[in-house]
Amino acid sequence: MNPLTLRELDAIDVERLNGVGRRRRTALREVDVETVFDLLTYYPRRYVDRTAQAPISEAVIGSEITVVADVLSVSARRLRGGRRLVSVDVGDATGVLSAVFFNQAWRERQLTEGRTVALFGKVENYRGHKQMTNPVVDVLGDGAAADRTGKIVAIYPQSESAGIVTWDVANWVAEAQRRCSARGIADPLPDWLRDRLGLAERGQALADIHEPLSMSDRWAARNRLVFDELLRVQLLLRSQRLAREAHELGIAHKTAGNLIETFHRRLPLALTGAQRRAMADIDADLSTPRPMHRLLQGDVGSGKTLVALHALLIAVQNGHQGALMAPTEVLAEQHHIALRALLDGFEVPDEARLGGKRPLRLRLLSGSSSGTQRREVLVEVATGSADIVVGTHALLEESVRFDSLSVVVVDEQHRFGVSQRARLRESGRDDRRIPHLLVMTATPIPRTAAMTVYGDLDVSVLDELPPGRTPIATEWVRGPLAAESMWTEVRREMEAGRQAYVVCPLITESESLDARSAEQMHAELVAGSLAGLRVGLLHGRLPSADKEATMNRFRLGDLDALVATTVIEVGIDVPNATVMVVLSADRFGIAQLHQLRGRVGRGSHESTCYLVSDDDPTPIAVERLNALAATNDGFELAERDLELRGEGTLFDERQSGRNDLKLASLARDLTWVQAARDAAADLIAADGDLDTHPALADEIDWFASRRDPDYLQRS
């Protein structure tokens, strides 16, 4: 029999293992373990090194050690001042030690008599006894202290609700390994690659990650398995891309011409080097019949709109149409206004009159257009007399048919998926050619992550801000007292002719979140701190006409301040606005705060961003606010965010992509991300279909079949 492949391991139900019955199977499903593959990749959370474990009698006061012992007794009481104290005595064959836990009442239920636990902490002397205060606890099982002494013991993620304890997992894993041992586990990596990277064999790695003989074995195992995870993702991305390139036919454009020249000649500003480079990338893409799939990544204010317009105009210049899609109506309207200003007076050849000209036609298709307007726009889009259409997802509706769509720009990628792409394909043209796609995002993604998350997109980065920006001062305002003097500052700024945004996290009062509602805040400010000033209100529940009117008044300077929910998060551009106040800032994530802050600092006046928090924000919120105050650099913040939150920041909750990386960390494993990328390039360059590596090809095929089809193709 051949050694077992991952596909085969993934086809064996865990129920077939001794010790996993119907009931355990249900519990395991709760932690996403259904097959032997899932079980073997249910990796330990940490290890207790019992080769270095101290018997209690030898625990030295003042040292940090791990003790493995059985719980002898547990008691709980309330201290003066209301704090709960749980005390536990544990013992091994050599002695007794106590552990005390403050304000962790649940420990009383966790540490029941007879359970074997590993405690890690500093040994103190308390009235002549050895004691640990708030040690790190791992429950190992019941009466298990005698087992596995002198070994490195894996501690698995446990689930109280599912009743999964580490000891059971260890036994099931051992059982699975035993059952696999007859055939062994196949290794699809070619020898040259394993040698080049000094990687362990897969079967060995899967054994060592669970039961390492030494900590260095454990690292070798981890490296191999991390590489496997990353290589699978890279190979999949690359082969999908190859397939796409082989099957998709787009439209080749001439990138030079009157319209583009006029556009560049009339620009009232000098493009940044980064904008030029991005435009050159786009020119190269659009001039071939291979559909562009490009991500334009640029911090807020980096000038993505001009780059987008450049691409759209190339479409128009070639007699086709361009579409710009925004995630919200406010943003679509904003883009429409910005483009209208830039395209004022532009002309295109008039097909009805040979050699004649007509004004370039820019149209807005939004949910709030009236029925007649909408029908008019739809006809213009279908007949080709509308050259550029700006809209929301309304652009994807059944009734929208283009005459000849050749460039699509999507602002803010994460709300746009594969099915939408497919939809544009159908509505865009009759000839089945695929429009070029430019996806714009202001979410700075660290390079390591971008290589994995957007592996199938080409990336242009606007890593340079237009000149003349004044840096934004960021202040963390803690508690209501500090806020009072802040409002005085804000008022002063507005009296000097500047404008301010005030962002509230929720529309309606929600006691549970303790967040202020925009409506209430607006009323309060008008009656109090901002009395006598012109203060507008903007939130998602207002009718579109009201929203638009309010935005216009703010844009024109007829409002001094705008109290808003996060609808203003992206894309709003009012250079005279110099103050951003974010209320309950401790409830926002780093990326969101950075986006909000980017609404100011767009003109020549100095800007300030006030991040107002509760008196007592959580430690992680403190980290976030400090990070924001320390830098304006979106990429630096993204790295920090990644450190603080892990990969969760990059992947949508619903994306199964996160599960692909059980062991690898995009923050820590840069070297392996690069190694995997290089290896994938080598393997695929040598042989696009991986014909000479059938085992690897089969693994990628299996891997592709078990994941969310939208993941990684999202754009």
Q: In terms of CB distance, is 223 or 441 closer to ligand ADP? A: 441
- Contact between 598 and Mg ion by CB under 5 A: the answer reads no
At its nearest, how many Å lie between Mg ion and the CB of residue 566?
Answer: 15
Return the residue of 303, 391, 444, 571 that touches Mg ion, per CB under 5 A.
571
460-493 in b/e form (b: 16+ CB < 10 A) is: bbbbbbbeeeeebebbbbbeeeebeebbeebbeb
Asked whether the beta carbons of 322 and 408 are under 8 A apart, the reply is yes
At its nearest, how many Å lie between ligand ADP and the CB of residue 301?
Answer: 5
Tell me, what amino acid is at 405? L
- Contact between 384 and ligand ADP by CB under 6 A: the answer reads no
- Contact between 272 and ligand ADP by CB under 6 A: the answer reads yes
Residues in the chain: 715
What Å distances lie between residue 216 and 219, 373, 583, 695, CA to CA? 5, 69, 49, 29
Choices 146-154, 390-398, 570-578, 603-611; region in contact with Mg ion by CB under 5 A: 570-578
At its nearest, how many Å lie between ligand ADP and the CB of residue 627?
Answer: 20
Taking the C-alpha atoms of residue 133 and residue 101, their distance in angstroms, rounded to an integer, is 6
At its nearest, how many Å lie between ligand ADP and the CB of residue 464?
Answer: 9
At its nearest, how many Å lie between Mg ion and the CB of residue 391?
Answer: 15
- Contact between 580 and ligand ADP by CB under 6 A: the answer reads no
Taking the C-alpha atoms of residue 420 and residue 413, their distance in angstroms, rounded to an integer, is 12
Taking the C-alpha atoms of residue 284 and residue 436, their distance in angstroms, rounded to an integer, is 12
Site string (456-495) toward ligand ADP, x via CB under 6 A? ----------x-----------------------------
Q: In terms of CB distance, is 365 or 442 closer to ligand ADP? A: 442
Asked whether the beta carbons of 340 and 362 are under 8 A apart, the reply is yes
Choices 267-275, 278-286, 529-537, 669-677; region in contact with ligand ADP by CB under 6 A: 267-275
Taking the C-alpha atoms of residue 391 and residue 674, their distance in angstroms, rounded to an integer, is 38
Contacts of 183 (CB under 8 A, 6+ apart): 1, 2, 3, 4
| Among 295, 354, 348, residue whose Cα is nearest residue 322 | 348
Taking the C-alpha atoms of residue 100 and residue 77, their distance in angstroms, rounded to an integer, is 11
Return the residue of 602, 677, 693, 714 that touches ligand ADP, per CB under 6 A.
602
Query: What beta strand segments (E) does 356-400 contain?
Result: 357-359, 362-365, 388-391
Q: In terms of CB distance, is 44 or 598 closer to Mg ion? A: 598
- Contact between 271 and ligand ADP by CB under 6 A: the answer reads yes
Q: Which tokens hold the place of 233?
A: 């993702």
Q: In terms of CB distance, is 238 or 602 closer to ligand ADP? A: 602
Return the residue of 234, 239, 302, 550 that touches ligand ADP, per CB under 6 A.
302
- Contact between 634 and Mg ion by CB under 5 A: the answer reads no
The entry of Mg ion, ligand ADP, none that residue 44 binds, CB within 5 to 8 Å by partner kind: none
Q: In terms of CB distance, is 79 or 270 closer to ligand ADP? A: 270
Phi, psi (degrees; rounded to nearest 5) at 357: -130, 155
Q: Which tokens hold the place of 558?
A: 């007829």
At its nearest, how many Å lie between ligand ADP and the CB of residue 532?
Answer: 30
| Among 365, 317, 301, residue whose Cα is nearest residue 599 | 301
Q: Which tokens hold the place of 470?
A: 């004044």
Residues that bind Mg ion (CB under 5 A): 571
Interface positions with ligand ADP (CB under 6 A) = 269-272, 275, 298, 300-306, 442, 466, 573, 602
